[in-house]
Amino acid sequence: MEVLLFGMIAEMAGADRVKVDASSVHQLRRALADRIPDLDKFSMAIAVDRRIVHEDMPLTGSEEIAVLPPFAGG
């Protein structure tokens, strides 16, 4: 699945999207940590279909997935 990256996390990855294989949010977090060095040192949220998810949940691959660093609006 394709994962959208933003802000500091896109900068760390050197890309604004990455492809990973994951069938759950938990797996997604692990796959991203493998792909992006030092990711676990930073605060981030996962959005599934434009809503932040706090718990593990299954992913089918058809969702819009995004990794969000801390917000800075205003």
Binding residues for other proteins, rule: CB under 8 A, are 4, 6-8, 11, 43, 47, 50-52, 54, 64, 66, 68-74
Shortest distance in whole angstroms from residue 65 CB to other proteins:
11
- Residue 66 sits at φ, ψ, to 5 deg, of -140, 145
Shortest distance in whole angstroms from residue 53 CB to other proteins:
8
Contact between 67 and 31 under an 8 Å Cβ cutoff? The reply is no
Shortest distance in whole angstroms from residue 8 CB to other proteins:
4
One-letter amino acid of 34 = D
Q: Report the C-alpha gap between 40 and 30 in whole angstroms.
A: 9
